Structure 1
Amino acid sequence: MSNESSVSSTEIPDNLKSRIKDSYDAIADHYNNNFTREHDVIRLDFLGRFLKELQVKEKENATVLELGCGGGIPGTRILLENQSPSIHVTANDLSSTQIEVARSNLSSFSDKLTLVEGDMMQLSFPDESFDAVMGFYSVIHLPRDEQAEIVKRIVRWLKPGGLFLVNFGDEEFSVAVNKTWLDQEKGWMFWSGWGGKQSVKMVEEAGLELVVTEKRQDLLDAAFIWILGKKPGV
């Protein structure tokens, strides 16, 4: 989402997920080189806080689900490089191109990495499978009703004491579309959001305790609410 996007009352297209996939397949290189940069201080800031919370659990090994891994740099790689705890990452992305880029970028971590291509709404895991789940700029591509549903599922997938790090758009709208996002001819893109306050409420009502809620402007001057939640328990 960015200041280039336009809020619209247009209905959500039936082929929404395939359109988003096709766009990320087409613009993967540009996105990775210009939007997901290693000096993105916001991502790195929240990822650092996330890892500190994981370290507090004093476990030798941890499991993390990443929703929207992109090309795997920097986020997934930082998780895989972490030593205390050692982290096994299940990394999901809708884009087949991004999954292949991540596979190449992270080839030296193949023993600690499971890559899963496809719509995050199609993922299925047993209850209490993960120590943590994170989604950077990914859940916002779901329609609002699906955002509420995926948060409920994530809470079930988390172990007691598990963490969830996510960002939502601070503005409320049901449909926002940009036909040439990031100035890319094939960059058709969709976002949706409940707004900052309602997104925080949604996470709380799903059963998580709030550790961090913070509003930040991203590289394209869009406002996001960043939430780090914790499942009650050990």
Structure 2
Amino acid sequence: MSDLGHDISDIRDSYDAVAEEYATRLHEELAGKPLDRALLSCLLEQTGPGGTIADLGCGPGHVAAWLTGNGAHTVGIDLSAGMVETGRRRFPEVEFRQGDLRELPAKDGEFASAVAFYSIIHLHPDDLPRAFEEMRRTLCPAGLLLLSFHMGEEIRHMGEWWGQQVNLDFRFLAPARIAALLEAAGFAVEMRMERTCYPDEAETRRCYFLARRLPRDPA
């Protein structure tokens, strides 16, 4: 373990290995996800003009690019240098930063809102509270977080992905636990939605939360 918590070098290295193929295959992913687009549009509307939206665990940046194309200033943050490099090349209109969800490269209150689509699913459960605290830290007062994950209790391990050797655990998460962790970190969950998978997705049930950053109670 590092000072941050559990070692995540395998996550970084695995996504480095598949970055270009991932970007190629998922470049138009949102075109086939109407509910995701609707939720992103809702986030855009509530963010308002001038606010910066963070895409946390952005991968090659296709979600950040969609937000930018619809009028947002967006910052994509990903652990993988390969993903960040690929994103910068494909989407020069998006600002990219390399960083860890548990120690985000951002100032306090920098973001008006944030998206974290399936980016917490590789973290060890013990690291989730710190990641949520970081999300709260980097959001402005009353800022919104749109979060998604696979529902359940299983762990699916992947050792090979698109012809590349990887070492990734995909952790399914219980919505009640995630809601409790968000609330403990200083968020109020305003919306919860579940959906089944689209035809081209992995066969999992997915959960979405929209949570708002609350002020801390005075000591």
TM-score range, shorter chain: 0.7 to 0.9
Distance 1:25 1:116, change over 3 A: same
Q: 1:20 aligns with which of 1, 7, 11?
A: 11
2:83 is the counterpart of 1:71: no
The alpha-carbon deviation at position 47 of structure 1 amounts to 4.1
The one-character-per-residue Cα deviations of 1:34-87 (angstroms, maximum 9, x if unpaired) are 355435544x52343233243245x430111111211112x111111223xxx2
Q: 2:116 aligns with which of 131, 135, 152?
A: 135
Q: 2:194 maps to which residue?
A: 215
The alpha-carbon deviation at position 194 of structure 1 amounts to 4.1
Work out whether residues 68 and 136 of structure 1, in 8 Å CA contact, stay in contact via their aligned partners in 2.
Answer: yes
The one-character-per-residue Cα deviations of 1:90-135 (angstroms, maximum 9, x if unpaired) are 211122221111111112x1xxx43111322232433322111111
The alpha-carbon deviation at position 88 of structure 1 amounts to 2.2
Distance 1:54 1:230, change over 3 A: farther
TM-score using structure 2 length: 0.82
Q: For residues 1-234 of structure 1, what are the structure 2 equivalents within 5 Å?
A: 16-35=7-26, 37-39=28-30, 41-42=32-33, 45-56=35-46, 59-73=48-62, 75-83=63-71, 87-107=72-92, 109=93, 113-173=94-154, 176-181=156-161, 183-218=162-197, 219-232=201-214
Work out whether residues 67 and 134 of structure 1, in 8 Å CA contact, stay in contact via their aligned partners in 2.
Answer: yes
The one-character-per-residue Cα deviations of 1:143-179 (angstroms, maximum 9, x if unpaired) are 1111221112212221122110111231125x54221
RMSD in angstroms over aligned alpha carbons?
Answer: 2.5
Higher relative contact order (CA 8 A, sep 6+): 1
Distance 1:217 1:15, change over 3 A: same
Q: Which amino acid letter does the alignment assign opposite residue 101 of structure 1?
A: T
Work out whether residues 168 and 199 of structure 1, in 8 Å CA contact, stay in contact via their aligned partners in 2.
Answer: no
In 2: Cα distance, 1:128 partner to 1:153 partner:
10
Sequence identity percentage: 25
The alpha-carbon deviation at position 208 of structure 1 amounts to 2.0
Task: Structure 2: state its 5+ residue gaps.
Answer: none
TM-score using structure 1 length: 0.77
In 1: Cα distance, 2:25 partner to 2:107 partner:
36
